[in-house]
Amino acid sequence: MQILLSDIGKRFNQDWIFRKLSAQFIAGENYAITGPNGSGKSTLLQVIAGAVSHSEGNADYVAGEKKIEPEKIFNHISIATPYQELIEEMTLIEFLEFHKKFKPLLQGMDIPNIISTVGLNASSHKQIRYYSSGMKQRVKLAQAIFSDTSCVLLDEPCTNLDIDGIQLYHQLVNNYCKGRLVIVSSNDEQEINFCKQRIDIMKFKINAGSRSAS
């Protein structure tokens, strides 16, 4: 899969978050979107995911030699974010069963295997609302990384994780994201130290703060 951004810009009301951003993301590579808190990293990731529309420029998604239609982009992308809502009235087993109806699991993986891999066996029958913040983050990483998608988007993926959780995060990326397109939005080096490709969003803030004349 490839994602091609050409002169992408995003504004809220009349205020530009970033402008004139062009980038190419290719499967098999790991990318980091960096920048200070509040600089627009998460917004850019949401634009890449197709969850937030861009205000200018073009975004093209290609699988093989074929362009992916906008309404089918979600089939190729999975995402984990700190602000992502979980269905907390469900148990972990119920949640993963529900989730796989929308996105199939990676080949060779099943729900018991996933739960064991992320270390939540003892809590698999508990409602998610009783999970700690770190446990919930493990669930978010699991539903993103174990979805059979060619692109995985991760926004501040180690939020609320302890040392063991951070080690788990790196194991998941190393073991299950090879050959996939991975884009991580973070200013924390421990979350992005495996990303050789970096995009500093501050380079696209020139004139971004100015109000549009249109």
Q: Could you read off the pLDDT of 29-74 as tens digits, one per residue?
A: 999 999 999 999 999 999 999 999 999 999 999 998 899 998 999 9
**What CA–CA distance (Å, rounded) separates 38 from 44?**
11
List the chain domain ranges: 2-204
Q: What is the largest CA-CA distance in the chain?
A: 57
**What CA–CA distance (Å, rounded) separates 25 from 160?**
28
**What CA–CA distance (Å, rounded) separates 172 from 181?**
14
Q: What percent of the chain shows pLDDT beyond 90?
A: 93
Half-sphere exposure of 12 (CA within 13 A, CB side): 6
Q: What is the pTM of this model?
A: 0.93
Bridge-based pairing of strands 197-200 and 30-34 is: parallel
Q: Could you read off the pLDDT of 110-123 as tens digits, one per residue?
A: 999 999 999 999 99
Given the candidates 3.90.1150.10, 3.40.50.1820, 3.20.20.330, 3.40.50.300, the CATH classification of the domain at 2-204 is 3.40.50.300
* pLDDT tens-place values along the chain, 214 residues long: 999 999 999 999 989 999 999 999 999 999 999 999 999 999 999 999 999 999 999 999 999 889 999 899 999 999 999 999 999 999 999 999 999 999 999 999 999 999 999 999 999 999 999 999 999 999 999 999 999 999 999 999 999 999 999 999 999 999 999 999 999 999 999 999 999 999 999 999 865 554 443 3
